[in-house]
Amino acid sequence: MAVTEVEASLHQALRAARGTHRIVYDPLAPPMLIDHDDVYRYVASRDVRCQEGELLTLTGITSEPIWAFWREIMFSKNGDEHRRLRQIVQSAYTVPEVKEDRGEIRARALALIEAFADGAEVDLVGEFVEPIVAFGICNRAGYDVTDHARVMRWGRQATTVFVGLSPENQQETGDAFEDMFDHLDEVIARRQAHPQDKVIDRLIAAHNDGRMSYLELRAMLGNIVIGGYATTQHALIWLIWYLYHHRDVLIRIIAEPELIALAVNELLRIEPPVAATFRTAKQDLEAGGCPFKESETFMISFLSANRDERIFPEPDRFDIDRDNRRQLAFGAGPHRCLGASLARAIIEEAALALFTQRPQLEISGADSEWSPTDGFRELADLHIKL
């Protein structure tokens, strides 16, 4: 089915539901909040907590390497434990810190585009999006990536955890996690011996002075490397797709490059790469007009909140001039995305480089392959002709 048709039916269903309900039920998943104000309130509320591994139980995952990672990452921790870990890493991902990376991201993007042969058909995901996202993320973490495909594989396997895995898939995902642990163990050992002054070195120092355990250090590194891969990649692919289909906006951006920031924010509103998240009640409570008992889990739909017509009039229109400050693609509250500024920097610099160097690029094929899932939404494939 074409991208636009799938899009229309999904959003039609959510719109219809929002007209009469604040929560929707699916027999195969926890109930889901769909109203913008409920989503905003409960993603950040102190009455709920992030999943401490129950998500894996919920999706039937038993494989130990996957648990070993999830138990230790910041996203699975709450309260003081979460604050302790977040404080160690937070200052490295602020807007001013990340601003220093923009020149390098731009230079790498231009080099990748330079390598495209004139008139060639290019697999944009494999030859541009994956390498530039991998570069931006690993460059900030502070070590050279030589094998992008390997890092990409971890990211892809990690995202499958959200949608449930068959025993064979668990084996494959478990192997990818083991491979990631081996790699991170090597990187950490190397940097212990020859420290520099990058994010990874700051994390190792925090471990050395007792602020985090070795397993937390390794999980944190894994989290900041693979945590942003799939999401940033999907957002960049979607942005290229939207700008290609909104020539008027593209022409404005080429004339006034600073407009790219508005385009990225609007893209994140209309196509949030993380469609939904989970929260668990810390006590009996009412959410979306429904009672939940302590320890019960519900879902929170960023996808629905970001197209809630009460907040964003004509929500299906890609409009870079709208007020989209209340869009929730990066979540809100204590677990708000750590890498939001970095993701914006990568997407903005990469898209600007592509469209300023190759303004006449054409997307080839009728509609590129689209893989909707409950948790993540992606255009898996995008070929262009130069």
Q: How far is the CB of 73 from ligand HEM (least distance, A)?
A: 7
Comparing CB distances to ligand HEM, the nearer of 43 and 212 is 43
Comparing CB distances to ligand HEM, the nearer of 161 and 329 is 329
Q: How far is the CB of 185 from ligand HEM (least distance, A)?
A: 20
Say how many CA atoms lie within 13 Å of 75 toward its Cβ: 23
Q: How far is the CB of 272 from ligand HEM (least distance, A)?
A: 6
Indicate the DSSP class of residue 127: I
Question: Per DSSP, what are the bridge partners of residue 26?
Answer: 29
Cα 310 to its chain centre, rounded Å, is 25
Comparing CB distances to ligand HEM, the nearer of 78 and 368 is 78
Q: Which tokens is 107 given?
A: 């230079």
Comparing CB distances to ligand HEM, the nearer of 124 and 338 is 338
Q: How far is the CB of 69 from ligand HEM (least distance, A)?
A: 13
Comparing CB distances to ligand HEM, the nearer of 140 and 153 is 140
In angstroms, the CA 345 to CA 122 distance is 23
Provide the 10 A C-beta neighbour count for residue 294: 10
Comparing CB distances to ligand HEM, the nearer of 12 and 94 is 94
Say how many CA atoms lie within 13 Å of 373 toward its Cβ: 20
Q: Which tokens is 153 given?
A: 């594989």
Q: How far is the CB of 239 from ligand HEM (least distance, A)?
A: 10
Q: How far is the CB of 290 from ligand HEM (least distance, A)?
A: 20
Q: Which of 24, 4, 3, 5 is nearest to 304 (CA)?
A: 24
Interacting residues with ligand HEM (CB under 6 A) = 43, 74-75, 86, 93, 137, 223-224, 227-228, 231-232, 235, 273-274, 277, 329-331, 335, 337-339, 342-343
- For residue 288, the SS3 value is coil
> What Å distances lie between residue 94 and 88, 89, 99, 263, 359, CA to CA?
13, 10, 9, 21, 31
